[in-house]
Structure 1
Amino acid sequence: MASPYITHYNRLTAKLICVKSTNIAKFCESNLKSVTTRLEHLEQRILQEVRALEAENRELHARLETFRALNVCLTNTVDMLLVKVDDLRLGYKFLQAVTERNREEILSLDQALSPLYHREGSGTPTVASTNINKDVTT
């Protein structure tokens, strides 16, 4: 049989282990509550950040859609302007051709009428010497 001292020592040791276990459990529980509280606060901050980022994302998406619409408008405007430029080029070429044809007709008429001017002797300038022969294309 065990001596009464050993039995008493074993009881005290068991009691001490029980007290220490209880203290450790309380310490762990306290730490767990603290960590849980910190995690909850962190979760709230993260959720706030997520909401802010979602709002910013919606705003950026709206701006992107606006820029896309503006891009379509500008592209259409540029296309219309290119058509107008082509029309103006064709009109310019047509006017050049008409001007050249008119110049040739005027020179032809001037040559045909030149003897009449010189016969009268009035000193009237010929059509060929006037500004009508200047190149009107610029």
Structure 2
Amino acid sequence: MRRAIDRVVDRFGCLDIVFGNAGIGGGAGFLGLDGSANAGGEIGSVTDELWDKVLAVNLSSVFATIQSAAFHMKKGTGGRIIITTSVASFRNQTWVGTPYMAAKAGAAHLVRQMALELARYNITVNAIAPGALPRW
């Protein structure tokens, strides 16, 4: 991420806005959309590999994006950072996989923390939190 943002700054001279819009699913939730139990989505079924992959894409990449963008924006007149989180970051969704829920909640908290830290540099950090509505 740092190299990609460095290349943008090298080419255009500054960085005004970044939109971090990466994400992957975290497997099934512990309940199906009809409310029935889903053993494949229970905590005991979450593999280390799935957990690590979902947190890498949905949380660690957000950190890398904000960190890389802020590095350049702090040198200039500020900027805007927008991150896609999810409604899953602030409300329970039993049909959504646990790794996704944890990662998106972490991303939302990271956005709030970075908004406070970077405000003094005229850098705003905001989140967009889309979400699907299940058919009941």
TM-score range normalised by the length of the shorter chain: under 0.3
- The structure whose residues are more often strand, as a share, is 2
TM-score between the two structures when normalised by the length of structure 2: 0.25
Question: Given the two structures, how large is their TM-score scaled by the length of structure 1?
Answer: 0.25
| Structure with greater helix percent | 1
**Larger RCO, structure (CA 8 Å, separation 6 or more):** 2
